Amino acid sequence: MELRVLRYFLTVVREESITKAAAVLHITQPTLSRQLSQMEEETGVKLFDRGTRKIKLTNEGLLLCRRAEEILQLVDKTERELLEQDEQVEGKITVGCGEIASVELLPDLFAAFHQKYPHVTFDIYTATADHVKEQMDRGLVDIGLLLEPADMEKYDFIRLDKRERWVALMRPNDPLAEKEQVTAEDLVGRPLILPRRMRVQGELASWFGDYYDDLHVLFTSNLNSNAAVMVSRGLAYSIVIEGLLSFWDRSKVVYRPLCPELASTSVLAWKHGQPFSLAATKFISHIKCFLGMEHHKI
C-alpha cells in the first residue's frame, strides 16, 4: 500500500466525495476511483459505503483511516527530522501532557530554549499519561509530562518536585463547598466522576478505603475539563488533580482538597533508546540542565 494512495484515501474521507477529492488532489475522478478500488482489492475489504450524495466509511474503513493518519503523521515527522540534521537547529518538538500543575514549569523551559534556538517550535498534545505514552511509543510525541503512577520501565525521566494535589470539584452553592476539606465519608452516596485511568483509580480506592464499595460512580473521565461541565450542571462531583483549576471560573465550579491529603507526583520523560531529531535531542539536554538532573532523576 503506497503512501500516495493513503493520502488519496484520507482526502476522500475529509471531502466525503470522490469528485471533490479529485479536484483537491488535481487528478481526474476516474483515476482516483480506480486507485480506491485497487486499495479495496489489496486489503480485501470494503472501505466505503458509496451513497448518492456523499460516501461514508465502513468499520474497516474507519480502522484504516485511524491507522493511515498515524502512519502519515509519523512519515511527515520523520521527513522533517531528516531535514533538520544540520548545524541550524530548527523544527518542531511535540510535548504531551495532562491538565496538571506541573504544566506551569513548561513556559520557563520553552522560553529559555527558544532564546537559544529561535527556529524551534513546539506542539503541545494534551491527554492522560497513558495516551501520551502510547504516542511516545509510536514516535509521535517526543517528551511526556506524565502524572504518576505510571510504568516508567521503557523511559528515561526526571521526577519533578511539584506536588499534584487531589481535590473534589463541585458547584459554588453546593453544601460541601462550605467545608474547607472533603472526606471520603462526605462523598459516600453522592454521584461521582472518577478518573478513567485504572492505575489512578487504584490510588483513589486506597484513599477511600472501606468507603470505596459504597461509592456511586456515575461517570469516568480522562480530562478535567469535560468533567467540569457535568459538575457545573449539578450532575456529579468530580475527583480530580488540582492542576490548573486556579485558572477556571469560580462562579461555575469550585474545589476543596481531600482529607486526609492525597497527592501525586509527575515526571518529564522520553523514550529510552529512541532516535530523536536534533531539536528534540537538544531539548532533552536542556531539560536535564534546566531542572538539575542530580536533584530529580530517580
Looking at the whole model, is its pTM more than 0.75? Answer: no
Q: What is residue 295's predicted lDDT score, i.e. its pLDDT?
A: 41
Cβ-in-10-Å burial (0-12, 13-18, 19+) of 231 comes to buried
pLDDT-derived band at 38, boundaries 50, 70, 90: confident
Q: Give 168-206 pLDDT, tens digit per residue.
A: 999 999 999 999 999 999 999 999 999 999 999 999 999
- pLDDT tens-digit series, residues 131-166: 999 999 999 999 999 999 999 999 999 999 888 999
Using an 8 Å Cβ cutoff, are 269 and 157 in contact?
yes
* 96-120 per-position pLDDT tens digit: 999 999 999 999 999 999 998 999 9
Residue 80 has pLDDT above 80, yes or no: no
Q: Cα separation of 91 and 113, whole Å?
A: 13
CA 251 to chain centre: 28
Cis peptide leading into residue 118 (ω within 30°): no
